[in-house]
Amino acid sequence: MYYQPLCLSFLIQALITIVSEILVNNETLKNLLDNEWFYLTVIDPIRKNMISHYHKNLNWKSSENNKNVSREKNMSQEKTFKQILVE
């Protein structure tokens, strides 16, 4: 008999752009995710609560139709969100 390791999974509701920005600024956290010590899933309220799963190197995969979510697309949506807040 052997030990089957289990990975911790996190589910948060936040903007993917903000989560990505946090990971860019926190190399330790990014490395833990990239090396699959734990998993991260984000529910993005700006994208109609779309669910995205973190993959290595700041890539996100949407659970809807397995679409890849690019970081550039996230940034443009974040700018739109900030414009809404200013108005």
pLDDT of 43-87, one tens digit each?
Answer: 999 999 999 999 999 999 998 765 566 555 555 555 554 454 444
Between 10 and 4, the higher pLDDT residue:
10
Give strand ranges (E) for 1-87: 8-13, 38-44, 50-55, 59-62, 68-69
Task: Report whether 32 contacts 23 (CB < 8 A).
Answer: no
Return the pLDDT at 86. 47
pLDDT at 15 > cutoff 70: yes
Return the pLDDT at 71. 54
Name the band, by pLDDT with cuts 50, 70 and 90, for residue 6: confident
Would you kindly state where each structural domain of the chain is located, as residue ranges? Answer: 8-86
